[in-house]
């Protein structure tokens, strides 16, 4: 696949005829850059390309077995095209590389990676506080993780309006090939109500994932809301158990505990009866 590159370097460095005044066209030292490849579109013919740059600027390009000068190449590009177009047999081989070999190679790569390219993994998303940006302000953070493929759209919204202050981080890779992304929004605390984070991804089947900030509660509050009733319930059960076992009647209406050691009495007397 590197044959055109090798050939062009050989021509530019060794094969220029004296009549082209090679030292004036390419004064030493000089830098030649080449880019070669092909483009595939569904339902369309493939398109190959080969472009050459000299000292960082476009010089000539290849198309249909012929070389064409760049508009910015000037006289140097015109002279190089005249030279390269004299090598018809070599140009036919270059055309075969960019129009036949390159598309076959690219199709092979696409076929080998088809399973990974077509893999769809739904994202997971959650909301959290970030570091406090200042008095009376909140940094709302929306995390989106574990999705594939990479393209994703995440935005803080108020109703159907995008919030222009949304700050986006980079889309970063996980070790398993999925991706991670987060976006944040700095707002006044009193304006946080009504905000939501909206996620769009190809794996969601056209249905946006929406997380509302009102539904978000700090973990500490959730812990308290769960634990306080449990502690109160445990205290009540323990108190009732103590009343049941105690010889003192702290709970009217509960049956008295019988005294098996007193044959003359079927019940244990309260202190007031002694």
Asked whether residue 270 carries a pLDDT value surpassing 60, the answer given is no
Q: What is the mean pLDDT of residues 59-82?
A: 90
Q: Where do you find CATH 2.60.40.10 in the chain?
A: 124-213
Angle 261-265-266 from CA coordinates, rounded to 5°: 90
124-213 architecture in CATH? Sandwich (2.60)
Q: Where do you find CATH 3.30.500.10 in the chain?
A: 21-117
Phi-psi region of 56 (alpha: psi -120 to 50; beta: other; left: phi over 0): left
- Top-tier CATH class for 21-117: alpha beta
Q: What is the mean pLDDT of residues 127-131?
A: 92
Model pLDDT, residue 2: 53
Query: Which stretches does DSSP call E strand in the chain?
Result: 32-39, 47-54, 57-63, 66-69, 124-129, 137-147, 153-158, 161-162, 167-168, 172-173, 179-188, 195-200, 209-212
Residue with tokens 């490849």: 37
Predicted model pTM: 0.49
Extract the tokens encoding 140: 């709302």
Lowest mean pLDDT among 13-27, 31-45, 79-93: 13-27
């Amino acid at each position: 696949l590197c044959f055109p590159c090798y050939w062009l370097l050989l021509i530019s460095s060794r094969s220029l005829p004296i009549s082209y005044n090679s030292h004036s066209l390419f004064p030493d030292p000089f830098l030649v850059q080449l880019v070669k490849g092909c483009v595939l579109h569904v339902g369309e013919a493939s398109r190959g390309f080969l472009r050459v740059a000299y000292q960082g600027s476009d010089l000539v390009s290849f198309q249909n077995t012929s070389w064409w000068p760049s508009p910015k190449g000037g006289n140097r590009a015109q002279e190089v095209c005249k030279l390269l177009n004299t090598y018809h047999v070599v140009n036919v081989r270059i055309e075969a590389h960019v129009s036949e070999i390159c598309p076959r190679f690219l199709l092979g790569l696409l076929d080998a990676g088809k399973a990974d390219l077509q893999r769809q993994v739904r994202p997971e998303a959650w909301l959290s506080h970030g570091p406090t940006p200042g008095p009376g302000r909140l940094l709302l953070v929306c995390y989106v993780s574990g999705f594939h493929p990479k393209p994703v759209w995440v935005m803080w919204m108020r109703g159907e309006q995008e919030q222009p202050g949304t700050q986006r981080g980079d889309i970063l890779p996980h070790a398993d090939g999925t991706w991670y992304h987060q976006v944040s929004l700095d707002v006044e605390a009193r304006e946080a109500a009504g905000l939501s984070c909206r996620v769009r991804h190809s794996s969601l089947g056209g249905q946006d994932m929406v997380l509302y900030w009102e539904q978000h509660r700090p973990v500490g509050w959730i812990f308290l809301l769960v634990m306080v009733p449990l502690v109160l319930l445990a205290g009540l059960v323990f108190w009732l158990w103590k009343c049941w076992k105690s010889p003192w009647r702290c709970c009217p209406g509960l049956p008295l505990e019988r005294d098996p050691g007193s044959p003359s009495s079927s019940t244990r007397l309260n202190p007031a009866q002694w």
